[in-house]
Amino acid sequence: MLKDCTTGTSYYIKCTTKHYIALFSSAALCIQMIQLMKFYQYQSFGKSFSRALYVQDAPRIPLACIHAYCLLPYEYHMLIQQKSHLGIVTFVRQCNEAITRYYNLLFKHTGRIFDKELTCLEIPLLSTEQVKNSIHELPFYALPPSIPYSWKQYPWSSRHEPIQIAGE
């Protein structure tokens, strides 16, 4: 399904961890994933992600535009718009591979951490804002009531800090 994405169209993406690894229960992994999303929404020209090489103001070609995201312990959700041919495919693959490498090095683990299949739904232009709000409200439904902060203050969502939109 990802290979059929049309440039300029928005898509809802849901990617779940394999065997329900609580990947995003660690603040360090959440911060790393958000930085990876910011970096890989642009064409990287063969360079891998490095905080030392990451220059926000450098001119880059956008692959995908992230409108909303939410990192939950076992999965992540995104509303993204494809900006170039195979942009979403490249973006999701690079993010998943990079966070997998980071996790495997950190915890001395091997192999993939995400399921092979992911959910990808085309979103009509008129429904984009509704899907964006639904993604921001996911912590309310997905997190147990014992979490010390309310879903409105959930830190691993674009509700409070939207990603810099690529190509705008």
- The greatest distance separating any two alpha carbons of the chain, rounded to the nearest whole angstrom, comes to 45
Apex 141 CA angle, 166 and 35, nearest 5: 30
Query: What is the structure's pLDDT at 69?
Result: 94
In angstroms, the CA 26 to CA 107 distance is: 12
- pTM given for the model: 0.83
Domains of the chain, earliest start first: 2-153 (3.30.70.1290)
Could you read off the pLDDT of 95-111 as tens digits, one per residue? Answer: 999 999 999 999 998 99
pLDDT in tens, 117-139: 889 999 999 999 999 999 988 88
- pLDDT band at 142; cut points 50, 70, 90: confident
CA distance 30 to 53: 20
Entry field: residues in the chain = 168
**How much is the mean pLDDT over the chain?**
83
**In one letter, which amino acid is 142?**
A
What integer is the mean pLDDT of 48-75?
Answer: 76
- At residue 3 the predicted structure's pLDDT band, cuts being 50, 70 and 90, is low
pLDDT above 60 for 145: yes
Name which of 18-22, 76-80, 83-87, 159-163 the model is least confident about: 159-163
Per-residue pLDDT for 60 more than 70? yes
More confident call, 93 vs 49: 93
What's the mean pLDDT in 145-163? Answer: 73
Predicted confidence band of residue 59 (pLDDT cuts 50, 70, 90): low
